[in-house]
Amino acid sequence: MIQFCVHDQEGMKRFKQTLSAIAQDEKMQFFDGSAELDRQLARSKVDVKRPVVYVGVKREDGSGLEAGNLGLDRFEIAIGFSEGRKPAEAQSFSSRVERTLAERWNVLAIPPDKGTTPLACRAGRPQSVAR
């Protein structure tokens, strides 16, 4: 799992565009369920920070990623990866995604035994760390 801060609405737009481009390059499907999740949360009267983000990139074999910001700061994103039926390919994919995102944002790796916490946006606007 990785976590990072996109800083503002323009960064959020750029993040979604980046994921869409990754999906196209990888011949995968991009989805944006943000608006639907926001409607469901509003109907349930759940108080959340907006904008609500729920997006992902999937392959037919079940590998891919899902990203969101629930429980985090408004412009903070956490991404979890799924292996599907081809773990080696999925690992390679996750490394490519992390490198691509690290070109623009300060990507933090979250240890497998830890969860995400609102922290990536609290350190100000750090420079991207190339990996």
- pLDDT bucket at 123, cuts 50 / 70 / 90: low
Q: Average pLDDT in the 100-126 region?
A: 82
Residue 34 lies in a domain: yes
Q: How many percent of the chain have pLDDT more than 70?
A: 92
Give the predicted TM-score (pTM) of the model.
0.87
pLDDT of residue 60: 92
Among left, alpha and beta (phi > 0; psi -120 to 50; other), residue 119 is: alpha
Residue 70 lies in a domain: yes
* Among 20-24, 71-75, 110-114, the range of highest mean pLDDT: 20-24
Residue 24 lies in a domain: yes
Q: What is the CATH number of the domain that holds 26?
A: 3.30.160.110
Residue 20 lies in a domain: yes
Residue 127 lies in a domain: no
Residue 105 lies in a domain: yes
pLDDT of 28 > 60? The answer is: yes
The span from the CA of 125 to the CA of 128, in Å, is 9
Residue 119 lies in a domain: no
Among left, alpha and beta (phi > 0; psi -120 to 50; other), residue 14 is: alpha
pLDDT of residue 130: 36
Domain that holds residue 91: 2-109
Residue 120 lies in a domain: no
Number of domains in the chain: 1
pLDDT of 129 > 50? The answer is: no
Pairing of strands 2-5, 64-68: unpaired
Q: What is the pLDDT of residues 51-98, one digit of tens each?
A: 899 999 999 999 999 999 998 988 999 999 999 999 999 999 999 999
- pLDDT bucket at 124, cuts 50 / 70 / 90: low
pLDDT of 126 > 90? The answer is: no
